[in-house]
């Protein structure tokens, strides 16, 4: 059955290449989208879905609302809340690499006052240097989010690293790892509430006494499984006076949506794979038609040796299917290799959906059968005497 393929291996390989590329593209597209989804789901697993965020919303009359100063303390007492952290966005403060940078070039970075347990609650940690402690939280010391550090040109922490924050120098103590649940933290410079009060003037007067604040975002870890019940009570507890001026969200929802989006494969590339498959099918059909013309004397000889029409048809159809399936198998392996290489570089688990490789082989089989049908029928209908006539 493989006679025609072994007789001309280079030509067979080239004509199977189209099918190999097509199946490789399809398998890689499906494999990569599944692998990236698996990667995101693993990250969601690691970060947990029990984080809820309370933020200041809009006032009914327009303008930005504020959370009450005592909101974090109140939420601590809420049932099923395991721990919480909070940050206060200091809108009038900006952060620069040095005092010489024009004020307009703030780089889209934020300055936030933070509670000291923020990394633990968000499931992140310091990539370099140190997090704030009770001492440094009172001093002009900042910790940078991952994006903020990159934009400020601080890839590592050295002893006298400084940034220009709200009109004065702050030392940089550390750099955080990326925080997928709260991307806002990534682009922030974080300082202690005490430092914010003392150096930036982030303060509210309560009963004639200044207190640092108010917080703008409160991050609440609930007991696992109680997210919904806690979520219902968050707004009224945080701001009983105006519960509708707070917004409550579940950041893992965003990641879950991203995972779903990643799982939805790129239809453009899938389309390209299908086009490559069609081109490959035309290539196989082409080579089979040419091979029927070239192998007329072989067909005649086989008829003389006693091959029936059905046997000739089966031979050419079989060769076409074999060619296409070989191409498909090579393509599936290449697609898996490409997926494994890319997923490996991203640290994702390699996930090849069963439909991807079975579909690849099955479509190659189908293509081989379709592409070989016409040439095979032609070969079988060739009268033996015509086939034996030398050209």
Residue numbers of the site for another protein (CB under 8 A)? 3, 6-7, 297-298, 300-311, 383-385, 388, 390
Alpha-carbon 272 to chain mean position: 21
**Shortest distance, CB of residue 305 to another protein, whole angstroms?**
6
- Report d(CA 288, CA 377) in Å as an integer: 11
**Shortest distance, CB of residue 301 to another protein, whole angstroms?**
4
**87, 185 contact by CB (below 8 A):** yes
- Report d(CA 367, CA 280) in Å as an integer: 9
Closest CA to 196 of 111, 133, 99: 111
**Shortest distance, CB of residue 368 to another protein, whole angstroms?**
22
- Between residues 83 and 311, which has the closer beta carbon with respect to another protein? 311
Going from the C-alpha of 54 to that of each of 75, 87, 233, the distances in angstroms are 10, 11, 11
- Between residues 63 and 310, which has the closer beta carbon with respect to another protein? 310
Most distant pair of Cα atoms in the chain: their distance: 113
**Shortest distance, CB of residue 34 to another protein, whole angstroms?**
43
- Between residues 248 and 376, which has the closer beta carbon with respect to another protein? 376
The helix, strand and coil proportions of the chain, stated in percent and rounded to the nearest 5, come to 55, 15, 30
Residue 147 DSSP SS3 = helix
What single-letter DSSP state applies at residue 156?
S
**Shortest distance, CB of residue 391 to another protein, whole angstroms?**
11
Written as six digits, the tokens of 320 are 């076409």
**Shortest distance, CB of residue 320 to another protein, whole angstroms?**
19
- Alpha carbons within 13 angstroms on the beta-carbon side of residue 71 total 33
- Between residues 2 and 358, which has the closer beta carbon with respect to another protein? 2
- Between residues 48 and 318, which has the closer beta carbon with respect to another protein? 318
Residue 55 DSSP SS3 = strand
**Shortest distance, CB of residue 385 to another protein, whole angstroms?**
5
- Between residues 264 and 305, which has the closer beta carbon with respect to another protein? 305
- Between residues 3 and 341, which has the closer beta carbon with respect to another protein? 3
- Report d(CA 25, CA 229) in Å as an integer: 46
- Between residues 6 and 92, which has the closer beta carbon with respect to another protein? 6
Q: 129's torsion region: left (phi>0), alpha (psi -120 to 50) or beta?
A: left
**Shortest distance, CB of residue 376 to another protein, whole angstroms?**
16
């Amino acid at each position: 059955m493989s006679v025609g393929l072994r007789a001309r291996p280079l030509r067979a390989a080239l004509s199977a290449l189209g099918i190999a590329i097509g199946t490789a593209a399809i398998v890689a597209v499906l494999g990569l989208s599944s692998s990236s989804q698996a990667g995101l789901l693993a990250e969601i697993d690691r970060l947990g879905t029990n984080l809820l965020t309370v933020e200041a919303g809009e006032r009914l009359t327009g303008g930005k609302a504020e959370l009450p100063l005592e909101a974090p303390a109140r939420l601590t007492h809420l049932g099923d809340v395991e721990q919480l952290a909070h940050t206060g966005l200091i809108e009038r403060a900006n952060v620069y690499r040095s005092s010489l940078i024009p004020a307009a070039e703030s780089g889209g970075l934020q300055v936030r006052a933070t509670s000291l347990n923020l990394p633990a609650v968000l499931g992140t940690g310091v990539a370099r240097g140190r997090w704030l402690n009770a001492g440094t939280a009172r001093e002009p010391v900042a910790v940078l989010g991952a994006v903020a550090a990159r934009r400020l040109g601080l890839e590592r922490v050295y002893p006298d690293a400084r940034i220009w924050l709200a009109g004065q120098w702050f030392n940089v103590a550390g750099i955080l790892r990326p925080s997928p649940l709260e991307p806002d933290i990534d682009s922030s410079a974080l300082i202690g509430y005490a430092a914010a009060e003392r150096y930036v003037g982030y303060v509210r007067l309560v009963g004639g006494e200044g207190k640092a604040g108010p917080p703008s975002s409160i991050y609440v870890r609930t007991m696992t499984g109680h997210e919904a019940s806690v979520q219902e009570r968050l707004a009224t507890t945080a701001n009983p006076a105006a519960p509708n001026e707070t917004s409550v969200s579940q950041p893992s929802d965003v990641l879950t949506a991203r995972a779903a989006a990643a799982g939805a494969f790129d239809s453009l590339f899938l389309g390209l794979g299908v086009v490559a498959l069609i081109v490959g099918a035309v290539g196989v059909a082409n080579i089979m038609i040419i091979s029927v013309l070239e192998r007329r004397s072989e067909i005649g000889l086989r008829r003389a040796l006693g091959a029936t029409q059905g046997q000739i048809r089966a031979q050419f159809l079989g060769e076409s299917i074999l060619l296409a399936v070989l191409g498909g198998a090579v393509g599936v392996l290449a697609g898996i290799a490409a997926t494994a290489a890319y997923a490996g570089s991203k640290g994702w688990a390699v996930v090849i959906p069963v439909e991807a490789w079975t579909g690849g082989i099955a479509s190659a089989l189908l293509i081989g059968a379709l592409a070989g049908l016409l040439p095979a029928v032609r070969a079988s209908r060739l009268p033996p005497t015509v086939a034996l006539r030398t050209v």
